[in-house]
């Protein structure tokens, strides 16, 4: 059983930056593909970014490409989401997720989820 704990959320002005972290425990971190999703009030959970087991391959949603960067440290058992040039529409609860089998944009294909961290971008 893998436990995921996100941190780093908060309130930031438009154009600012935040770095989210997600620390994993209870499993072999390097055996999991990792991803970030987000969910705004009244909206479905949406894919933000994903990274392969080794970290060599990364994927990002079109809405965040060029602004957000996903990375991982398999020694620290942590995945990061660096968010730059934030916009009010980035406001959401951000979740990290782990998959034993695939790197995917589909939430249902992830096995473990964190509790989420709130990101609020003011205009």
Residue pLDDT, tens place only, 92-101 = 999 999 999 9
Residue 119: pLDDT band by 50, 70, 90 thresholds?
A: very high
pLDDT for the residue 1: 86
CA dist 71 → 12, 14, 79 (Å) = 21, 23, 6
Neighbours of 110 (CB within 10 A): 22
Angle at the Cα of 46 from the Cα atoms of 41 and 122, rounded to 5 degrees: 50
Q: Strand 92-99 vs strand 112-113: parallel, antiparallel, or unpaired?
A: antiparallel
d(CA 35, CA 83): 14
* Residues forming a β-bridge with 117: 94
pLDDT for the residue 69: 98
Task: Confirm if 35 and 22 have CB atoms less than 8 A apart.
Answer: no
């Amino acid at each position: 059983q893998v436990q995921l704990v996100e941190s780093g959320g908060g309130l930031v002005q438009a154009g600012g930056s935040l770095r989210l972290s997600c620390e994993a425990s209870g499993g072999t971190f390097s055996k999991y593909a990792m991803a970030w999703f987000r969910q705004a009030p009244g909206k479905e959970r949406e894919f933000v970014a994903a990274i392969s087991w080794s970290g060599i391959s990364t994927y990002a949603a079109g809405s965040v490409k060029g602004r957000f960067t996903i990375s991982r440290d398999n020694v620290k058992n942590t995945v990061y989401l660096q968010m730059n040039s934030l916009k009010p529409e980035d406001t959401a609860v951000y979740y990290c997720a782990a998959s034993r089998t695939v790197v995917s944009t589909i939430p249902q294909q992830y096995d473990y989820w964190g509790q989420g961290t709130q990101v609020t971008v003011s205009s």
